[in-house]
Amino acid sequence: MRTQTKEIQDNLTPKCAHDILVQGNKRFVENLKAQRNLKDQVFETSKGQYPFAVILSCIDSRVPAELVFDQGIGDIFSVRVAGNIVNEDILGSMEYACKVAGSKILVVMGHTKCGAVTAACKNVKLGNITPLLEKISPAVNSIRKDDTELTDEQIEDVSFENVNVSIDRIRKESPILAEMEKNGEIEIVGASYDVNTGLVEFH
């Protein structure tokens, strides 16, 4: 498996980048890891990096983006925060990845059985976790129909909707990324990872 170079990155379309992630996840699910020399990749990327994707995902230990998509060193930017929420620093990181460093696809990836989403659904209040969970509340409110406790199925619906909320915020709060998407320079897409199967489904 080749290390990402500027030439490879320049010749990739957003669709190609999307396909690479789909194929990588297929290998992961089938336990067929691509052959790559990580030590060589350390050396080859020491003078520069040309990742083809930036992936915003949860900090959940079961969902490491590089492994889930079977990617190596220098292939993707991995942005991780509980509940795959968006804030100013994350937006800046993604703008850097796409506008400055040349990534061709931006993925917001949620997952099943998300602790942050569950905590938001249960209205948990605890230190700095409280303002973080408030960023998930729009998704909770879109699924919650009354004051009754959400079912497990509804909590999964919140996880799915939370990805859409984050994507909406990216488009609204980052004119840079919104313009790049409009011009066809990047794809912005949502995805959900199933902790039971290892499968990523793109929205």
Q: What is the pLDDT of residues 119-175, one digit of tens each?
A: 999 999 999 999 999 999 999 999 998 888 999 999 999 999 999 999 999 999 999
Per-residue model confidence (pLDDT) at position 196: 97
Average pLDDT over residues 9-35: 96
- Residue 186 half-sphere exposure toward CB, CA atoms < 13 A: 29
Average pLDDT over residues 98-123: 97
Q: Residue 89 pLDDT more than 90?
A: yes
The band of 30, judged by pLDDT with boundaries at 50, 70 and 90, is very high
56: helix, strand or coil: strand
- Among 41-45, 80-84, 180-184, the range scoring the smallest mean pLDDT is 41-45
Per-residue model confidence (pLDDT) at position 146: 85
Per-residue model confidence (pLDDT) at position 26: 98
Mean per-residue pLDDT of the chain: 96
2, 20 in Cβ contact below 8 A? no
Take residue 163 and report the two structure tokens written for it: 């990805």
49, 4 in Cβ contact below 8 A? yes
User: What are the strands of the beta sheet with 53-57, ordered from one edge?
Assistant: 76-80, 53-57, 105-111, 187-193, 200-202
Q: What is the pLDDT of residues 49-82, one digit of tens each?
A: 999 999 999 999 999 999 999 999 999 999 999 9
Which residue would you say has higher pLDDT here, 4 or 136?
Answer: 136
Sequence-separated (6 or more) residues with CB below 8 Å from residue 178? 170, 171, 172
- Residue 142 half-sphere exposure toward CB, CA atoms < 13 A: 15
The band of 34, judged by pLDDT with boundaries at 50, 70 and 90, is very high
Ranges 1-15, 31-45, 71-85, most confident: 71-85
Give the Cα separation of 29 and 50 in Å (integer): 26
Per-residue model confidence (pLDDT) at position 29: 98
Q: Residue 2 pLDDT more than 90?
A: no
